[in-house]
């Protein structure tokens, strides 16, 4: 099956810093999503981005489908951004999202 790897696995930043999280996938996909899991375990859908660039406030994401990677940018980090960020992808002709390994982000006040 498709492999999804995220980097870095852990990231510790000071409040106000910017960060870039990466998601690499091993095969062509027709869906890619970014999720944020907060410290209470809730999974929040951030972006649906099979290709191109999207922005939502301090967060933006870019997927280059031909090169099989996606990037999540977080600017001016806040402590509420802490948690684990997952990307998840969907193969063509499939209904099953495959999740990446996650990046644990810790924002220090």
- Residues forming the site for other proteins (CB under 8 A): 30-31, 33, 35, 40-43, 45, 48, 86, 88, 90, 94-102
Shortest Å distance, C-beta 56 to other proteins: 16
Output 75 or 94, the one with its CB closest to other proteins.
Answer: 94
Pairwise CA distance, residues 79 & 49, whole Å: 25
Q: What is the SS3 assignment for 25-46?
A: ECCCCCEEEEEEECCCCCEEEE
For residue 5, the minimal CB distance to other proteins (Å) is 10
């Amino acid at each position: 099956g498709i492999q999804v790897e995220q980097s870095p696995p852990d990231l510790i930043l000071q409040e106000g810093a910017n960060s870039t999280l990466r998601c690499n996938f091993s095969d062509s996909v027709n869906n890619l999503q970014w999720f944020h899991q907060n410290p209470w375990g809730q999974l929040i859908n951030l972006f649906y981005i099979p290709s191109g660039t999207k922005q939502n406030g301090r967060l933006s994401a870019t997927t280059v489908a031909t090169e099989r990677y996606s990037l999540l940018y977080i600017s001016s980090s806040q402590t509420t951004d802490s948690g684990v960020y997952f990307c998840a992808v969907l193969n063509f002709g499939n209904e099953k999202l495959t999740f990446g390994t996650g990046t644990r982000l810790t924002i220090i006040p």
